[in-house]
Chain A
Amino acid sequence: MEAQELVTQAANTLDLKSLGAAFAIGAGALGPGIGIGLLAAKAMEAMGRNPEAAPKIQTAMILAAAFAEAIAIYALVVALIIKFI
């Protein structure tokens, strides 16, 4: 049937490459997002309890956030490799 042919054609021309790239970065940004949120929440709590130690806590927080963000960057690089190479 005409409709069935169209559906088969649509399924065969699915752009799986772009889908893979989108899924890679989408799922890969989930973990680091939650991780950095938890980090910042704990850091703010600590700063609220002890405002004098705020600069030290801030430096340590930025360092730890960079580590967590690096994982998201790995996911981004995989997505870029899928899309462009």
Chain B
Amino acid sequence: MHISIAAEKLSTVLGLPITNSLIMSWMAMAVLIIVAFALKRTMAVVPGRFQAFVEVVFESLLNLVDSITQDRRKTEKFLPLVLTIFLFVITANWLSLLPGVGSIGIREEEILVPIFRPANTDLNNTLALAIIAVVAAHFFGLRSLGIKKHVGKFINLRGPIDFFVGLLEAIGEVSRILSFSFRLFGNMFAGEVLLLVLASLIPFFVPIPFLGFELFVGFIQALVFAMLTLVFLTIATSEHH
């Protein structure tokens, strides 16, 4: 049984490596895009069952976002990014529980290289999402507060204590990128390793409660990533105290 932290490279296209987690990311994107187009085609004023379900999800998340930002205009600005992060992460996490992920692969000299690997078990993937979230927070902050006020949060020359606090905030931004990416990566990778070890020890009946737990963890991690992005977006676009 071979566990590797880095995603295995399957082939190369134009000099860029195609890893097995990239294939699962593409599948998650395909699922989301197909569902979006199917919904658009059959959209009606009186919603059918699937549209009503999607509306319920959107509306409950809208209310959740509202309760954190306390401002309807801000909610409308932030909702696309936050909702996209939530939907992508939850789709990628739940797709990884399908049979075949991690088990179907190519045998290379005693090691099985799986063709599908959960998208968020690749640190590159989660790092990309974290960088998107943090850069978006700075972008929204710059756009709504202006350059002087936004940079003034980090480079504060009003006094020695304020300067130190500003420096700590700047370091905090970098640590935020790390913490976002490692939280999602650690949870997903640990879950995948757990399922792998269980499946190699007792493949019948025992993995079932752990699969249920992975379902729950996937949902919670998506929610936490989206909510933390939202919280930091709100903090970035609000005045200093």
Give chain A's interface residues, CB within 8 Å of chain B: 56, 59, 62-63, 66, 69-70, 73-74, 76-77, 80-81, 84-85
Task: For the complex formed, measure the closest distance between the CB of B182 and the CB atoms of chain A, giving whole angstroms.
Answer: 6
Are B67 and A77 in touch, CB under 8 angstroms? no
Give chain B's interface residues, CB within 8 Å of chain A: 3-5, 64, 67-68, 179, 182-183, 185-187, 189-190, 220, 223-224, 227-228, 231
Find B3's partner among A56, A76, A84 (CB 8 Å cutoff). Answer: A84
Are B189 and A80 in touch, CB under 8 angstroms? yes
Main secondary structure of the interface of A (DSSP, over half): helix
Are B182 and A63 in touch, CB under 8 angstroms? no
Are A70 and B179 in touch, CB under 8 angstroms? yes
B187 contacts which chain A residues (CB < 8 A)?
69, 73
Are B227 and A69 in touch, CB under 8 angstroms? no
B183 contacts which chain A residues (CB < 8 A)?
66, 69-70, 73
Task: For the complex formed, measure the closest distance between the CB of A25 and the CB atoms of chain B, giving whole angstroms.
Answer: 10
B68 contacts which chain A residues (CB < 8 A)?
59
Task: For the complex formed, measure the closest distance between the CB of B118 and the CB atoms of chain A, giving whole angstroms.
Answer: 15
B228 contacts which chain A residues (CB < 8 A)?
63, 66
Are B224 and A77 in touch, CB under 8 angstroms? no
Are B227 and A59 in touch, CB under 8 angstroms? yes
Are B186 and A62 in touch, CB under 8 angstroms? no
Q: List 10 A-B contacts (CB under 8 A).
A: A59-B67, A59-B227, A62-B220, A63-B228, A70-B183, A73-B182, A73-B183, A73-B185, A73-B186, A73-B190
Task: For the complex formed, measure the closest distance between the CB of B63 and the CB atoms of chain A, giving whole angstroms.
Answer: 9
